Amino acid sequence: MSRGANKPTSAAPVVLPSARLVLPVRPRRLRATAAIREMVAETALAPAQLIQPLFVTGGAVNEPVASLPGVSRLPLAALGAHCRRLAALGIRGVALFPKIDPALKTADGREALNPETLVLRATREIKAAAGDALLVFNDIALDPYTTHGHDGVLSARGGDDVDNDATVAVLAEMAVLNAAAGADFVAPSDMMDGRVAAIRAALDAAGHERAGIMAYSAKFASCYYGPFREAVGAGGGGGATGGAISKAGYQLAPGNRREALREACLDEQEGADIVMVKPAGPYLDIIRDVRERAGVPVAAYQVSGEYAQIHAAAERGWLDLRRTRDEALLAIRRAGADLILTYFAEAWARDYA
């Protein structure tokens, strides 16, 4: 064997092309400048597509919500000025959620049918201050009013079983009271069977045929609702410790895609003017499914847990708050949401005013 026979041979030198690539299609041409990127953007977001959730308290001062940075429960006296500011930013809707005095809570949630309950007084305050410039979407469910924290009346079977038909009767009456107070849309978030049809019939019979229904159609039994339950003082069901109650008997299982579409289609057939998917970010595929089938506008709720986790990561320096917020909202729009309920609404509209 000759000397050097086991030495590796040298690799062939890399020869770079001497001329530019001949590419008739260069997609980067449409990304070359900010002006081009803005002109050809496929998805856009505007303040009028955002709905700001508002928490209302019967107290006299703002009450910050610890798990929702920048969010406070607002007293009645502050609602008018706050809502005028939202309208001036181009936001066209607010969704109201009351924090009820625990002394007023009962097992059957009867405070929801009090003509002077907190959310009805808040509705009248907002409509007097902002008029038609700001639409009011009122939650129709019993969880803020019940001692057990469920969205309806418990059945005689006990445990976490909610009596569907008895609950629907209460919700229909509740919806009429909210429409009479000036709510532009009632928003049943309970997930009871048949409640949209019952509410539509009750509204029409009471002369509120102009009041719309935004149905929480595909509302999942999600762990992302914890900060919201703190904000309204509703017990159990998915907070930081998991909650003491289960709403799986009426909210959707997170893995069920076909069932979500079925619920949305049923709500549209029963008379819903807008159907909703909740939460939004973890369920972009559901938003797209519903958008492709629904003949009415599709709303998506970027829920409290989605908002809180973006803030938490930003506080630790792991994410840029504004850029992460904007990307998350744009993704929800891209998936097919016509409207987005988000706690970021005011801040986003102010940044882009």
Residue 239 DSSP label = S
Query: Residue 94 domain-assigned?
Result: yes
Query: Residue 7 domain-assigned?
Result: no
The rounded distance, in Å, linking the Cα atoms of 62 and 261 is 39
Query: Residue 247 domain-assigned?
Result: yes
Q: Please list the residues that pair with 135 across neighbouring strands.
A: 93
Query: Residue 30 domain-assigned?
Result: no
Number of domains in the chain: 1
Residue 323: which H helix or E strand, with range? Answer: helix 321-335
Q: Is 184 helix (H, G, I), strand (E, B) or coil?
A: coil
Taking only the tens of pLDDT, the chain with its 353 residues reads: 455 556 556 677 666 666 789 999 999 999 999 999 999 999 999 999 999 999 999 999 999 999 999 999 999 999 999 999 999 999 999 999 999 999 999 999 999 999 999 999 999 999 999 999 999 999 999 999 999 999 999 999 988 999 999 999 999 999 999 999 999 999 999 999 999 999 999 999 999 999 999 999 999 999 999 999 999 988 654 443 345 689 999 999 999 999 999 999 999 999 999 999 999 999 999 999 999 999 999 999 999 999 999 999 999 999 999 999 999 999 999 999 999 999 999 999 999 98
Q: Please list the residues that pair with 63 across neighbouring strands.
A: 73
Catalytic residue among 99, 105, 219, 247: 219
Query: Residue 82 domain-assigned?
Result: yes
Query: Residue 132 domain-assigned?
Result: yes
Annotation says 278 is catalytic: yes
Confirm if 342 and 307 have CB atoms less than 8 A apart.
yes
Residue 154 domain boundaries: 45-351
Query: Residue 5 domain-assigned?
Result: no
Query: Residue 138 domain-assigned?
Result: yes
* CATH code for position 142: 3.20.20.70
* Sign of the four-CA dihedral 205, 167, 228, 78: positive
Q: Residues near 22 by Cβ (< 8 Å), separated by ≥ 6?
A: none
Distance of CA 72 to the CA centre of its chain: 17
Q: Please list the residues that pair with 278 across neighbouring strands.
A: 219
Annotation says 247 is catalytic: no
